[in-house]
Amino acid sequence: MKLPKEEIERRIGDSYEIPNNVLNSAPVPLVSIRTSTYQHGPYIEQCINSILSQKTTFPIEYIIGEDFSKDGTREIVFKYAKKHPDSIRVLTADYNVGSKANGQRCIRAARGKYMALCEGDDYWTDPYKLQKQVDYLEKNKDCSICFHASKHVQADNPIEFFIHRPKDAPSDNKFEMRHAVLNGGGFMATNSMVFHREHIIERPEWVERAPVGDSPLMLILASKGKIGYIDDVMSVYRRMTLGSWSSSMKDWNRKSQHHQAILRMWSDFDEWTEHEFHWLVFRKKMKNRLNHAKGRIKFLIGQLTK
């Protein structure tokens, strides 16, 4: 259920931060790392440990938005926060506020010049990931975001995986808006992003209406500069975890509703950019419709052969 903006604001207002010492230990962090987590009990420790293992020459802060999990996630997050009061800031509430409010309260609390993301069921694999990406952004002032290659695994079968790299990379490994539009949310793993936080503080209304968070984020950042790429595998993205977006898309009715919402998102984006990328948006929407039609045919065939 999509919540009205007023309700999201109320839920953010009901949130609070667990006592910590991060504001004193890192008064001016260069990077704010954000983890949104809900019902990630089997995975959250690996996520947190992978972030705490980062080696940097600059100060960082780690913000965890814990959304009143009932599977042990909450207790694990609180345990780590107590053990690492100089590094971890936990934002929570006494009820489940939902993904929109959870994400927004973390963004508003962040203080870094840059922001990095890692959802609670994912993790980073290179202890120098942040250092590499920040060094890249500091050197390449024309880039608003930096991402890298990632490993994608099935939650119930980690042996089944593939390495995700963008296709047709430019010679300088700097992508532009056309790549972001035509490749959509699958262009880069969310946990591979490091970007300028200032670009997402004020978010346009169409972003709030969007059914996903990764595509709008990528599009906003692509409108602010180039998209830098590092060809190192430095994170793992888990597919089909319980309650995840990829898991929810197994339901055809929900998938159809999502498809229509995505088309509306692209129309909103087209209007927001004053149709500057209209031809790219048109191609993307046609591709979405074609893929949805193929999926529908495959679903119907499956029903007939049961």
Q: Can you say whether the dihedral through the CA atoms of 226, 149, 112, 204 is positive or negative?
A: positive
Domain ranges of the chain: 5-241, 252-304
Fold adopted by 5-241:
Spore Coat Polysaccharide Biosynthesis Protein SpsA; Chain A (3.90.550)
Give the span between the Cα atoms of 154 and 122, in whole angstroms.
11
At how many degrees (to 10) do helices 278-304 and 252-272 cross?
A: 170
Is 50 exposed, middle or buried (CB count within 10 Å of its CB: 0-12, 13-18, 19+)?
Answer: buried
Give the span between the Cα atoms of 36 and 65, in whole angstroms.
5
Q: What is the pLDDT confidence band of residue 249, given thresholds at 50, 70 and 90? A: very low
Question: Would you call 37 helix, strand, or coil by DSSP?
Answer: strand
Query: Who contacts 264 (Cβ-Cβ below 8 Å, separation ≥6)?
Result: 209
pLDDT given at position 109: 97
| Cβ–Cβ < 8 Å for 80, 163 | no
What's the chain's average pLDDT? Answer: 93
Name beta bridge partners: 114: 31, 196
Mean pLDDT of 165-176: 92
Give the span between the Cα atoms of 231 and 234, in whole angstroms.
9
Q: What is the pLDDT confidence band of residue 236, given thresholds at 50, 70 and 90? A: very high
pLDDT given at position 235: 98
Per residue in 186-217, pLDDT (tens digit) is: 899 999 999 999 999 988 999 988 888 889 99
Instruction: Name the E strands within the chain.
Output: 16-17, 31-37, 60-66, 88-92, 114-117, 123-124, 143-154, 157-164, 174-175, 194-196, 226-239
Mean pLDDT of 274-293: 94
Give the span between the Cα atoms of 93 and 238, in whole angstroms.
26
Query: Who contacts 181 (Cβ-Cβ below 8 Å, separation ≥6)?
Result: 219, 222, 277, 280, 281, 284
Per residue in 48-99, pLDDT (tens digit) is: 999 999 999 999 999 999 999 999 999 999 999 999 999 999 999 999 999 9
Does 222 score more than 90 pLDDT? yes
Give the span between the Cα atoms of 14 and 93, in whole angstroms.
6
Mean pLDDT of 29-51: 98
Is the model more confident about 298 or about 102? 102
Q: Which of 264, 110, 272 is nearest to 204 (CA)?
A: 272
Does 144 score more than 60 pLDDT? yes
Name beta bridge partners: 237: 152
Query: Who contacts 129 (Cβ-Cβ below 8 Å, separation ≥6)?
Result: 54, 148, 234, 235
